[in-house]
Amino acid sequence: MTNHKQKFGKHSCESRKVVCDQLKKKLFQQKSLFTNETKQQEEALLASYFVTYELMKAKKALSDGELIKNCAIKMAEAFNENKVGNKFQTVPLSKQTVTRRLEDISNQISNNVKDIIANCSYFSIALDESTDVSDTNQLLIFVRAIKEDFTIFEELLKVCSLHSTTRVTDGAKSMTGTISGFVGFLRQNQITVPTLHCIIHQEALCAKSIKLSTTMATVTKITNLIRGGNRSLTHRKFLTLLEEMDSAYGDLLLHTEVRWLSRGKCLVRFFELRHEIATFLREEVTNSAELQNDLEDVEFLRNLAFLTDITQHLNVLNLQLQGKKQTICQMVGFVDSFRKKLHLFKSALDKNNLLHFPCCRKLSEEEEEGLEFRDYTEIIEDLSSEFDRRFNDFESFRPDISLFSNPIHCDIESQPGHLQLELCELQCDPSLNTSQVTGIDFWKLLSPERYPLLRNWALKLCSVFASTYICETAFSSLKHVKSKNRNRLSDVVLSHILRVATSQLEVDFISLVSSFMKPQCSH
């Protein structure tokens, strides 16, 4: 005690307080330094998630992360921002790291999709399959879910890579076949659900039924003769000719069978350049006498003009049917509109009225006595019959579509019994009667308390997938993701990339960063 007093007794209370303050300050500085380091690690991790997400949205390679990082560092140096460059240096973006970040993002999206399905009012699925660059069948399954407020989600549910022999083949029969197709498998397992063949595929099959395949084959043959395969010299000569003749178009278009709009675009370009093509064949291409004769034959030119016009009308319909989150009512409405147009076209051609056939009209005007196109009414009739036959499975939805489109003026007694009383209320509701909105926006206005059955019925109808358009867009992404130069992606990684690339859901990057207790910086 005596020694203690001798050693410390001389310190006053004030001096002891100064010592305590210095210790506190030192501890705070150490804690602040630790906090700053942790913050920098979190920021670097967050940046790596951001970059990974953008890479996958752009369908770029996993190894491109390092390239992005190096570019960012060089830009910082160019702006003399060395501190910023040093921060970029800490962002982990190796191929392995980007793969892990991708998996985290994909898993979060997948969990969110499962939550949406669990809490939605109704959902439907769309399935389609195609073969990738490594000859592996890829089956894509998308889900369309609708919430009580009529918010629609369309998300990738599953990618199934089918390496072994499958019981289905590429094409519509693999999905709609009643024996060996997907629909048949459902029935064999006593699963009863409404099924529809993609409305856009149906339209494309109707277009193929037009009996002018010989004309299309000639167009394809001439196009390939000029710019197909290894004919680069011939192609360059043709481009020079077009430039010399001051043509409206600079080149022919190649026809790709799998592209919905390809045939129409190819035909329009060929028809507009028919004179230049004839001149080129005559002057530059040997052994093309037969093809030259075709381009001078009135019958061939009539077929070409009509095929171009009717294909363009079909392309307009195809474009209307494309797009995400469309309701079955909208899409059937587009088809019904085209079927009415077909009756109009037939009536016009019966009188040789070419108002709706611009190429036919142009060709006819080039002849002094004009040209007759009345004989093409038979093709219009056959096309109309094909539409009736192929869209027959949508007829079961016709009463629902009619009610959905016009609930204010529908015949109540012909509607389902459980909806009739609420329809009486609805048709006498002043606020709804004066509303200018239509379609799904109208049904959003219905009070859940006053119209629970009608809202539930509308939600169910709006949940229906009427096409596999979303699958087709995903297949386009697949071609970019898994190409000849990137054909060794594992099935799991491919699934993660497609999920992130196609998703419309927001990613909670902060929660991803928070899930890491000790995020590591790149060294």
pLDDT band at 163 (very low <50, low <70, confident <90, very high): confident
Residue 144 to residue 245: CA distance in whole angstroms? 52
Say how far residue 284 (Cα) sits from the centre of its chain. Answer: 42
Say which amino acid occupies 284.
E
- Whole-angstrom distance, CA of residue 337 vs CA of residue 343: 10
pLDDT tens column, 166-187 = 554 444 555 555 555 777 788 8
Q: Is 368 left (phi over 0), alpha (psi -120 to 50) or beta?
A: alpha
SS3 of residue 113 by DSSP: helix
Instruction: Yes or no: say if 387 and 339 are a contact pair by the CB < 8 Å rule.
Output: yes
| DSSP bridge partners of 162 | 137
pLDDT for the residue numbered 403: 96
Closest CA to 491 of 138, 117, 143, 188: 138
Q: Is the pLDDT of residue 12 over 60?
A: no
Chain segment 391-430, per-residue pLDDT in tens = 988 888 999 999 999 999 999 999 999 999 999 999 999 9
Query: Helix, strand, or coil here: 404?
Result: helix
The predicted structure's pLDDT at residue 376: 96
- In 3D, which of 310, 290, 313, 285 has the Cα closest to residue 300? 290
% of the chain exceeding 90 in pLDDT: 63
CB 302 within 8 A of CB 373: yes
Q: How many angstroms separate the CA atoms of 31 and 47, rounded?
A: 24
pLDDT band at 311 (very low <50, low <70, confident <90, very high): very high
The pLDDT of residue 46 is above 90: yes
- Residue 252 buriedness (CB in 10 A; 0-12 / 13-18 / 19+): buried
| Predicted confidence band of residue 485 (pLDDT cuts 50, 70, 90) | confident
Interval 421-473: pLDDT, tens: 999 999 999 999 888 899 999 999 999 999 999 999 999 999 999 999 999 99
Domain edges within the chain: 14-98, 109-195+470-516, 206-373, 406-463
β-partners of residue 129 are 139
